[in-house]
Amino acid sequence: MSKICSICGKKPVAGRTIKRRGLSKKKGGVGLKITGVNIRRFLPNLKTVRAIVDGSPKRIRVCVKCLKAGKVKKAIRF
């Protein structure tokens, strides 16, 4: 299953973690030097919920932001 919210379309985005070394100029050093850059992914906080889609209950993946905002009509279990 893809990591995409079915309501807002939120999906993973790419970013970086930067490793630095040294003492900052503010503290009397020569400045921070970058020693390594790693590429990482920021994943959306998705939950699988039973929701009403086109009048019938279906399982969809929704981000928590949409759930909290009330954009999803949850299905009632009998």
Query: Tens digits of per-residue pLDDT, 23-39?
Result: 999 999 999 999 999 99
Question: Among 2.60.40.420, 3.40.50.300, 1.10.10.10, 2.20.150.30, what is the CATH number of 13-69?
Answer: 2.20.150.30
Q: How far apart are CA 16 and CA 40, in angstroms?
A: 5
Q: Convert the pLDDT of each residue in 50-62 to its tens digit.
A: 999 999 999 999 9
Which of 2 and 16 is assigned the larger pLDDT? 16
Contact indicator for 72, 63 with CB cutoff of 8 Å: no
Q: Which residues, 6+ apart, have CB-to-CB distance to 67 below 8 Å?
A: 47, 49
